[in-house]
Structure 1
C-alpha cells in the first residue's frame, strides 16, 4: 500500500482541523448536486424509461449487464468501501484497492474518502445526535417514525454536516494513490453508465441496444443498488432481529442477505465492526465476505479479521 502523505492539512484552517464536522454552504451545494445526480435523476430516468421498454432490446444480454454491473458495484461498496477502507478488516494489494474504489464509485454513492468518513462517524454516534442517517432521532409516534425512515433512507443525503476527513480518515488521506483515484469520482461514476451503454450498442450494433444497456446496466442498476444499501441505514435500524446487545438499534434481516451483499447482518456488524465477515457463520449468506475469501484464495487478500467462536458466543444476548 502506498502511504505517502498527501498535504490535505495545508488547505485547512486550524479551526477546521479541530472540528469533527464541516458545515458550510459550499459543501452543501456539492451535496445537493450529488443528490440530484444520483438519487433524483435515476428515479426520473427510470420513469422515463418504462414506456420505452417495449421498443428497445431486452433479453439475456440486458439481464447479464444488469447483474454484472450490480455485482461489480455491490462488491465495490460492500467489500471495498465498507469492509476494506472504512473498517480495515483485511489487507490487499494496491491494484485491488484501485479496482474496488473504481467499482464502488460506479455505484454513484459518493467517493471512498467521503463514504468512509461518514460511515466511521455513523459508528461513533450510531442512533445518537450527530449520526448522519439515524431514523430514531425524530420521536416515537407513527408520523415521526415515518419521517425518520424517510430521512435515513434518502433525504439526509441532500444536506448534512460533512465529517472532517482529517479527523475520521487520517489513514486514507495518507494513501496518495487512493486520493488520486478518488479525485476522479465523477469519471468513474459516469463510467458506470457509459460502459453498459457501449457494451449494449456493440452487442446489438444499434443505438437502441446502447439505450437498453444504459437503462439496464446503468439507470435501473443504480436505482436498485442504491435503495438496497440505503435500506440498511433505515429499515434495519428499526426492524429485524437482534442477535447481540449493542448500544444502538441495529438489526439483522437474513432474507435480503444475498441482495445486500451480506450487509443485512447489520446487528452482527455493529457488534463486530472490524470483522470481514458480517454473517459470522458459513450458513449465513454473506457475498461481500465470499468475495474477500476469493481474493484470499488467490493470495490477493491477507490478515482477514474474523472474531473467534468464543468471542461471538460471549457477546450473544442469550449467552
Structure 2
C-alpha cells in the first residue's frame, strides 16, 4: 500500500508543477507572480519532479515552439514526424537538451520573451549527481516498502515521470479523443473526464484557446483540476490571473 500511495503522490505532485509552473506560467504566462514566488516554485518543482526535473526556461521555449509550429517539421514533438512514441520522446529529449545548453540556433527572439530563468539553479537541479541521488532514494524506498516483485516495475516511471507526462499528451492527445474545435493541427481532448492529467488532456481546447488558464469548461464533464487550484492561488494573492473576470465567468 505504501508503494502505491507513493507512486500516486509522485505522479500528481510532479504533474501539478509541470502543468501549473512550467506549462501555464513559463510557456504561456496565463498569470503573473512575484519574483519571490517564482523562485519558490522553481524549488518546489525540483523537489516534486526529483530525478526528472525540467527547466522552466527550456520547457517554456520548447512548448512555445510546439504551439507555433504544431504538427509541422518545426514542431519539437509531433507524432506525424516520429516512427513511434519512444522515437518522439528521444527527439524531444535531444531538442530540450540543446535548448537548455544554448545549442539550438535560428529560434526567433519573440519566443524567448519573459521566460523565467534561473540558470544557476537549473544547473544545480539538473546535474547528474542530483538525478542519481533522487533515483537512489526512490530505489531505497521501494527496497524498504515493496511487498511484491511487480511493484518494482513502477520504478522506471519514477525515473522518467516528467517525460512520461509530456509523452502522454504530445502523442496520445494528437491521435485519440474528441475535438470541440477545428484547428490547423491534430490536437484532441484525450479524456472526457480528466482524472489522469489534471486538465492537460483537454488538448484541443488548449490549442484553440492558448492563453486561457482553464483548459476545460466547454462541456459539462470538462473539469480542469489545476484551474481550481489556480483560482485558489489567485484568491490568496500568490498569483494574479490575466483577464481575471473573463476567466472566472468562463469557469
1:221 counterpart = 2:158: yes
Q: CA RMSD in A?
A: 3.5
Confirm or deny: 8 A CA contact 1:65 1:216 kept in the other structure. no
Confirm or deny: 8 A CA contact 2:217 2:223 kept in the other structure. no
Moved more, 78-87 or 293-302: 293-302
Moved more, 83-92 or 106-115: 106-115
**1:300 paired residue among 233, 238, 247:** 238
**2:87 paired residue among 144, 148, 151:** 151
The separation in 2 between residues aligned to 1:263 and 1:136, in whole angstroms, is 20
Aligned to 1:132: 76
> CA distance change for structure 1 residues 189 and 271 in 2, over 3 Å: closer, same or farther?
farther
Q: Which runs of 5+ in 2 are unaligned?
A: none
**2:65 paired residue among 93, 118, 121:** 121
Confirm or deny: 8 A CA contact 2:192 2:221 kept in the other structure. no
Aligned to 1:252: 189
Confirm or deny: 8 A CA contact 2:53 2:126 kept in the other structure. no
Aligned to 1:291: 229
The separation in 1 between residues aligned to 2:29 and 2:137, in whole angstroms, is 30
- What is the CA distance between 1:69 and its match in structure 2? 2.3
Confirm or deny: 8 A CA contact 1:196 1:210 kept in the other structure. no
Moved more, 294-303 or 218-227: 218-227
**2:55 paired residue among 74, 92, 111:** 111
Would you say how many aligned residue pairs link Structure 1 and Structure 2?
232
SS of 2:79's equivalent? coil
Confirm or deny: 8 A CA contact 1:244 1:268 kept in the other structure. yes
- What is the CA distance between 1:66 and its match in structure 2? 2.0
> CA distance change for structure 1 residues 68 and 253 in 2, over 3 Å: closer, same or farther?
same
> CA distance change for structure 1 residues 293 and 307 in 2, over 3 Å: closer, same or farther?
closer
> CA distance change for structure 1 residues 257 and 229 in 2, over 3 Å: closer, same or farther?
farther
SS of 1:183's equivalent? helix
> CA distance change for structure 1 residues 285 and 225 in 2, over 3 Å: closer, same or farther?
farther
The separation in 2 between residues aligned to 1:294 and 1:230, in whole angstroms, is 28
> CA distance change for structure 1 residues 102 and 119 in 2, over 3 Å: closer, same or farther?
same
Q: 1:211-254 CA distances to partner (integer Å, 9 max, x unpaired)?
A: 89xx6996443445532431211121122111111111111122
- What is the CA distance between 1:274 and its match in structure 2? 1.1
The separation in 1 between residues aligned to 2:44 and 2:112, in whole angstroms, is 20
With the length of structure 2 as denominator, give the TM-score of the two structures.
0.75
- What is the CA distance between 1:114 and its match in structure 2? 1.3
Once the two structures are superposed, the pairs formed by residues 1-319 of structure 1 within 5 Å of their partners are 59=1, 61-105=2-46, 106=49, 108=52, 110-137=54-81, 147=83, 149-152=85-88, 154-157=89-92, 159-160=94-95, 162=99, 163-164=104-105, 167=109, 168-172=111-115, 175=117, 178-186=118-126, 189=131, 192-193=134-135, 200=141, 208-209=143-144, 219-223=156-160, 226-255=163-192, 257-280=194-217, 283-305=221-243, 308=246
